[in-house]
Chain A
Amino acid sequence: MDLRAEKELVKKAQRDPEAFSLLYEDNYSKIFSYVLKRTANVEIAQDVTSETFFKALKNIKRFSWKNISLSCWLYRIASNEIVNYFRKNKYKCVSFDKIAEPSSFLTPQTDVMEAEDELKKQKEFLEIHQKISQLPDIYQKVIVLRFFEKKMVKEISEILGKKEGTIKSLIHRGLEKLRKLVK
């Protein structure tokens, strides 16, 4: 989807749920995957992804003022939500709690359990994640976006709102720090 078409859809999504559905379908997997790689926890990934989309919908009117793609904007929200998660003693996904039927969350879903099992199998990832999670937040962001999400430096700079040169040096320094941790 090109930027202009996406902006039109975003504008339409302000009052049309169908338009928002299209944007959601286009971006859900990317955001969930990113959050999962950042947190290495299926439950947290669900909560943070939910909160990310609720915040996006709540602020969608403001989106047209930002000269970045919607996915970049969603990555940015998700990154902030991850920080919020780790900052708060007890992360509370307020919006989702209010609207969702509690019963549906009390019963563990099969696909959730499957996802957890699948994640547990990814030992190499979990090991490296354990090291990455020891890095300051900004390095975690750039490393996950660059090497797990395969984002270009330009895209990372748009997501994080920083200059490309800064991103390059952050990646460089982040990798150095990670190397030290791995050794």
Chain B
Amino acid sequence: MPKIEIPSHKTRLKKALIDWKYYKKNKEGWFFFGLKKFWVPAGAIAVIFVISVFAINFIFPQDTFAKVKKIALEDPQIRQLISEGATIKNIEITNNKAYVLLTPKEGLTEKKDSVEAKNGKEKLRGALAEIEIKEKRVSKIEEVPPYAAPLSQSEEEKTKRIITESEFSLPKAPEPEGNSLMATREKEEEKNIEIEKIEPLPTYKLKLQKKDGGVEILPEKNENESVRVIYRIDGEKKESQIDLIKERVEKSKILDQEEDIKKESEDR
């Protein structure tokens, strides 16, 4: 069969195809089409990323934290600690393990001063529990001691100033600090305040921080909030508890009198 062709159809069809709306549409919308080609997938990726981050950081961890808390609260040792006044302070999750920091409730530590703690009237405890998330069990509980930062020179000076101001009822210095300090020193010398011992009061203001696949316990602040000071004034031995943040004496007692009372009762 010979080749049959219709040149007019070929030409008209070609013209029709090129003039067709397909190219017109693409020509007009090319700028936006190009943008769409880039922005639609980029936008979709961004949305997926945001949702993933949201899900990972907010939904699933919360769910895991809730699970961890439930496992912890089912453990008898932890329940005992909670009944003694502890509370879950912090939870960290790392390497399929959860770490739960339990510390005495805020306010409880303030009620019990160092003397009470020493007498062993009531013992407040902190603890760190390690939880195997997959096995849903508490694998280890360690007692956490309260933390006291080493006493700094400024804290020592602040303590002396507060004690002196308290003993002589000096008003809080509205004048420059140097003048106030000079005045307290003069009074100290005059009345002969002799500081025997200043020791920081340990606190359970602690937090957990991830480190090397595990956790470490750190103080919330690197400075002491309160100190216990033993000093002599006019022949009397005193012990005071000082709040360094509020800059005031919280508690104070005369030790010599207590010692005398004790001796008398022993003699009787």
Contacts and interface: CB of A to CB of B under 8 A. Distances in A.
Contact of B1 (A29, A49, A125): A125
Contacts of A99: 16, 19-21
A166 B22 CA distance: 37
Interface stretch (A67-75, A110-118, A172-180): A110-118
B26 interface: yes
Interface size class of A (residues with CB under 8 A): 35 or more
B5 interface: yes
Nearest to B23: A17
Interface in B23-81: 23, 26-27, 30
Interface size class of B (residues with CB under 8 A): 20 to 34
B3 A33 contact: yes
Interface stretch (B6-14, B134-142, B145-153, B236-244): B6-14
A156 interface: no
B194 to A, nearest CB: 93
Contacts of B16: 50, 96, 99-100
Interface in A1-33: 14-15, 17, 20-21, 24-25, 28-29, 32-33
Nearest to A50: B13
A54 B17 contact: yes
Nearest to B14: A24
B61 to A, nearest CB: 41
Interface of A: 14-15, 17, 20-21, 24-25, 28-29, 32-33, 36-37, 42, 46, 49-50, 53-54, 57-58, 95-96, 99-100, 104, 109-112, 115, 118-119, 122, 125, 148
Interface of B: 1-10, 12-14, 16-23, 26-27, 30
11 contacts: A15-B23, A36-B4, A42-B6, A46-B9, A50-B16, A54-B17, A54-B20, A109-B8, A111-B8, A112-B6, A115-B5
